[in-house]
Amino acid sequence: MSILDDILHRTRADVLERRSRAPLSELSARCRDLPPPRDHLGALRRDGGQDGRRGGSIRLIAEVKKASPSKGVIR
């Protein structure tokens, strides 16, 4: 069995288990109660940051990952 087959098998089993815990209608209701998402693109396009500086402020979106599903821990 390849790594992708293993990931697919585990994911399908996980989805079935999660569906039994929370039906789709319940998840939809929870989503309707959430606050609106943040405007990340708008924040990147704005001229100044929270500190009031204009112009050359640095804007960064980053993702820090501990591990990859197929390769394990990233070093």
68-72: long-range contacts (C-beta < 8 A, 24 or more apart)?
69/7, 70/3, 70/4, 70/7
Q: Quote the pTM value.
A: 0.40
Give ∠ CA 19-23-25 in degrees, rounded to 5: 145
Give the pair of three-digit tokens for residue 4.
Answer: 């992708």
20 vs 42: which has the higher pLDDT: 20
Digit-coded pLDDT (tens) for 21-67: 999 999 999 999 999 998 888 877 776 555 555 556 676 778 888 88
Length of the chain (residues): 75
Euclidean distance between CA atoms 48 and 34, whole angstroms: 28
- Which residue from 40, 21, 22 is spatially nearest to 31, judged by alpha carbons? 22
